[in-house]
Amino acid sequence: MSAELKALVRDRVGKGAARALRREGLVPAVIYGDNKSPLSITVTYKDAMKRIQQGGFLSQVISVEVDGEEHRVIPRDYQLEPVRDFLVHVDFLRVSKTSILTVDVPVHFVNEEASPGLKRGGVLNVVRHTVEVNATEADLPEFLEVDLTGSETGDALHISGVKLPKGVTPTITDRDFTIATIAAPSALKSEDNDDADADPDAAASVEVESIKQSGSEE
C-alpha cells in the first residue's frame, strides 16, 4: 500500500524550535539513509496522525513530497508525548527499489467459517499479530493471510502453512514458529501448555493468557 504526505524543509532545529512548530500544527521529522545526508522536515500533525491511526504505519512504504521533490521512505519510528499521546517526532528511512526492508507485517485470518474447530466453539488463540519479514519495496505485502480452512481444535498454525509472496522471507529461519492455535474454551489453558512445550512462541502467549485469567478471577 502506498500513501503520501506533504512536507516542508525545516531550517530550525532544537527543542525550542520544535515546540514552536508543534504550536503551529506541525511535527518535526527527519528523512535519513540511502547514503545521503539527513533531511530535516516538518509534516502537518493532522495528516501524520491520520496515517498512524489508519494502522500499519511502520510497515508501509510511502511517498513524502518535500518542496515538490518526491522521497520514497518507510516510517521507522515515531514518538508520542507520554502523558497526552501527542505526536512529537517522526523518523523516515529512504528506500530504493533494491533496498531490502525488515518490516513487521500484520497477519489477517480468513475463512473462520470453514474451520470445524471454531464452528464447534473453539477459540482462535493468536500468538503473533505480526510477522517480521525481509522484502524489497516492490515485494513488500500489506499483510500476510492465514487460511483457517479445515483447522481443528488443538491445531497449531505455523509459518510453514502461510503462502508467502515471492521475494518475502521471514526473519526467523531456525524454526517453524507458531502464529496461532485453535483451543477448546473449556480446556484453553491445558491445551496451550501442550503447545508451549513444543514452541517457545506459544509459551509466551500462554503466559500472557494465564496472567489475564488470574486477573479476571481476582
CATH of the domain at 178: 2.170.120.20
Are residue 68 and residue 132 in the same domain, yes or no?
Answer: no
Whose cell is 513488500? That residue is 140
Among residues 77, 94, 111, the one where a domain terminates is 94
pLDDT mean over 214-218: 44
CA distances for 140 relative to 13, 28, 93, 198, angstroms: 34, 27, 15, 30
Among residues 94, 128, 150, the one where a domain terminates is 94
Are residue 116 and residue 196 in the same domain, yes or no?
Answer: yes
Q: How far apart are CA 106 and CA 9, in angstroms?
A: 32
Nearest to 109 by CA among 90, 119, 124, 99: 124
Are residue 204 and residue 118 in the same domain, yes or no?
Answer: yes
pLDDT in tens, 107-132: 999 999 999 999 999 999 999 999 99
pLDDT mean over 15-31: 84
Q: How far apart are CA 22 and CA 214, in angstroms?
A: 43
Are residue 122 and residue 51 in the same domain, yes or no?
Answer: no
Of 11-20, 94-103, 203-212, where does the model show the most confidence?
Answer: 94-103
CA distances for 67 relative to 9, 10, 13, 116, angstroms: 7, 11, 18, 55
Among residues 42, 68, 94, the one where a domain terminates is 94
Work out how many domains the chain is built from and give that number: 2
pLDDT of residue 186: 66
Are residue 83 and residue 30 in the same domain, yes or no?
Answer: yes
> Are 183 and 191 within 8 A, CB to CB?
yes
Are residue 48 and residue 110 in the same domain, yes or no?
Answer: no
**Domain span at residue 39?**
3-94
CATH code where residue 9 lies: 2.40.240.10
Sequence-distant (≥ 6) Cβ neighbours of residue 159 within 8 angstroms = 131, 170, 172, 176, 177, 179
Are residue 59 and residue 134 in the same domain, yes or no?
Answer: no
Are residue 125 and residue 74 in the same domain, yes or no?
Answer: no
Q: Identify the sign of the CA torsion 140, 149, 130, 49.
A: positive
pLDDT of residue 216: 43
Are residue 85 and residue 124 in the same domain, yes or no?
Answer: no
What is the 3 state secondary structure string of 46-77? HHHHHHHHCCCHHHCCEEEEECCEEEEEEEEE
pLDDT mean over 12-29: 80
Are residue 184 and residue 168 in the same domain, yes or no?
Answer: yes
Are residue 160 and residue 213 in the same domain, yes or no?
Answer: yes
pLDDT of residue 194: 55
> Are 39 and 30 within 8 A, CB to CB?
yes
Are residue 159 and residue 200 in the same domain, yes or no?
Answer: yes
Whose cell is 528523512? That residue is 31
Tell me the pLDDT band of 179, cut-offs 50, 70 and 90: very high
Tell me the pLDDT band of 1, cut-offs 50, 70 and 90: very low
Nearest to 143 by CA among 123, 118, 162, 115: 162
Asked whether the predicted pLDDT for residue 152 surpasses 90, the reply is yes
